[in-house]
Amino acid sequence: MNKKIARKLDQGPFPRRWLRVAEAAAYMNQSAKSFYNCLARRQIPYSKVKGIGIRVDRVLLDELFVRNQKLPR
């Protein structure tokens, strides 16, 4: 993950829950373009707020990552 974005996400006593698309893509170690493609295919849940833009819930991303993780054989 980009160090600048990582520091920005964890500032303060509580980590931010709602991420912008670029931040969420960096958090998941993907490019923004591929992350937008996943959003368009509705593989990742998001909220679209008028005047603000698309926001992705960090908790749901973590749950999605754990649910789709393959176990070693």
Cα separation of 2 and 43, whole Å? 23
How far apart, in Å, are the Cα atoms of 30 and each of 8, 14, 36, 65, 72? 18, 24, 10, 13, 22
pTM for this entry: 0.73
Encode pLDDT of 1-54 as tens digits: 566 665 566 666 667 889 999 999 998 889 999 999 999 999 999 999 899 999
Cα separation of 45 and 58, whole Å? 10
Residue type, 22: A
* pLDDT of 73: 64
